[in-house]
């Protein structure tokens, strides 16, 4: 195909997109541990939900496990992922005398502390989140069994069986759809007017900002690509937000080789964003794939400036003993 025969394609690039401060901190924690202590470094659960990132860290000497029981007795660092872990995990690490480093995102830790405070004050905690997601498992694991009730949808609020007069509070997973969560919160407040809400919304700034950018771009384009992994909650939510905002063709794509050209073959405009755990190199790879087939013109649509920074876990900072 000659250059002149390539059809034009307008690409609207969402900003902010890609890595958030918590993801940068978690990846940096693994890389700094490898630099400081050498390989191997064990990581419980995928440090962030992105296969490209995880495979890159494996090549550098990180060993990923689902549970601490898979780790032999070792002096090597053991890092907890950005999603947070139940209290039983650091307890097990201490019992086995592991050199544990907690890379939980500080915004997830904030939710953990909120839940603990509510529990100490005698409130039953309702957690809005997705069953089985590591962040939800970690948050529920901060409190004794039965102290947290998990719900996912507004419809479930009506089915909650809670004794009258029970003091209630709610917290949420940090990577949810802002609009979905608003509906659940409204249903909770309507049924339980006395329920205690978070001081500040639990859905993190990065999730909110990325969804806002998609809402701006999605109605303007023929198709939308969200760069991210299928097991990434915030990436899946971005795809849903794009569809709801009026984009009929929205797909979650990890790498350029996964692009379904039957879906994206005859378009005049394309929106691209990336989940909070997707590196910019994968966005560039996908733009390059379209540039091979189209004459592309790339514009950035920015809805917020992000300047959030989280320092490394204390054990990895230069002044650590």
240-260 pLDDT, tens digit each: 999 999 999 999 999 999 999
Q: Indicate whether 295 pLDDT > 60.
A: yes
Where in the sequence of the chain do the CATH 3.40.1010.20 domains occur?
A: 3-19+205-302, 107-191
What pLDDT shows up at residue 183? 96
Mean pLDDT calculated for residue range 28-49: 96
Under the banding of pLDDT at 50, 70 and 90, the label for residue 200 is confident
Q: Count the Cβ atoms, other than its own, within 10 Å of residue 186.
A: 12
pLDDT-above-90 percentage for the chain: 93
Domain spanning 3-19+205-302, CATH class: alpha beta
DSSP state of 312: P
- The architecture CATH gives domain 21-105: 3-Layer(aba) Sandwich (3.40)
pLDDT-above-70 percentage for the chain: 98
Identify whether 92 is a catalytic site residue. Answer: no
**CATH number of this structure's domain 107-191, picked from the four choices 1.10.10.10, 2.120.10.30, 3.40.1010.20, 3.40.390.10:** 3.40.1010.20
- Per the rule left: phi > 0, alpha: psi between -120 and 50, beta: everything else, 165 is left
Mean pLDDT calculated for residue range 202-215: 95
Where in the sequence of the chain do the CATH 3.40.50.11270 domains occur?
A: 21-105
List 135, 156, 194, 257, catalytic entry: 135
Q: Indicate whether 132 pLDDT > 60.
A: yes
Burial bucket for residue 163 (CB in 10 Å: 0-12, 13-18, 19+):
exposed
CA 49 – CA 86 distance, rounded (Å): 18
Q: Count the Cβ atoms, other than its own, within 10 Å of residue 231.
A: 14
Q: Which residues contact 257 (CB under 8 A, 6 or more apart)?
A: none
Q: Cβ distance 63 to 43 under 8 Å?
A: yes
pLDDT in tens, 56-112: 999 999 999 999 999 999 999 999 999 999 999 999 999 999 999 999 999 999 999
pTM across the whole model: 0.92
């Amino acid at each position: 195909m000659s250059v002149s025969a390539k059809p034009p394609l307008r690409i609207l690039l969402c900003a902010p997109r890609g890595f958030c401060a918590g993801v940068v901190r978690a990846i940096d924690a693994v890389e700094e541990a490898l630099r400081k202590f050498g390989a191997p470094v064990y990581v419980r659960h995928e440090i962030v939900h992105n296969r490209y990132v995880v495979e890159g860290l494996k090549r550098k000497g990180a060993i990923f496990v689902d549970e601490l029981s898979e780790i032999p007795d070792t002096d090597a660092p053991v890092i907890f992922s950005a999603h947070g872990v139940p209290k039983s995990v650091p307890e097990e690490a201490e019992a086995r005398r592991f050199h544990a480093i907690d890379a939980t995102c500080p915004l997830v830790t904030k939710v953990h502390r909120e839940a603990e405070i509510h529990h100490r004050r005698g409130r039953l905690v309702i957690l809005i989140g997705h069953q089985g997601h590591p962040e939800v498992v970690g948050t529920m694991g901060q409190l004794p069994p039965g102290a947290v009730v998990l719900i996912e949808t507004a419809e479930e609020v009506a089915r909650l069986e809670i004794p009258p007069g029970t003091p209630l509070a709610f917290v949420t997973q940090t990577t949810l759809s802002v609009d979905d969560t608003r509906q659940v919160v409204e249903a909770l407040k309507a049924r339980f007017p006395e329920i205690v809400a978070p001081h500040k919304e639990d859905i993190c700034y990065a999730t909110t900002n990325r969804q806002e950018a998609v809402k701006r771009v999605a109605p303007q384009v023929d198709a939308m690509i969200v760069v991210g992994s299928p097991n990434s909650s915030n990436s899946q939510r971005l795809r849903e937000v794009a569809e709801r905002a009026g984009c009929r063709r929205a797909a979650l794509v990890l790498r350029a080789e996964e692009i379904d050209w039957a879906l994206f073959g005859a378009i005049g405009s394309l929106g691209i964003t990336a989940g909070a755990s997707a590196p910019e190199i994968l966005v560039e790879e996908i733009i390059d794939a379209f540039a091979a087939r189209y004459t592309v013109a790339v514009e950035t649509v920015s809805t917020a400036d992000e300047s959030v920074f989280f320092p490394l876990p204390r054990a990895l900072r230069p002044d650590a003993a």
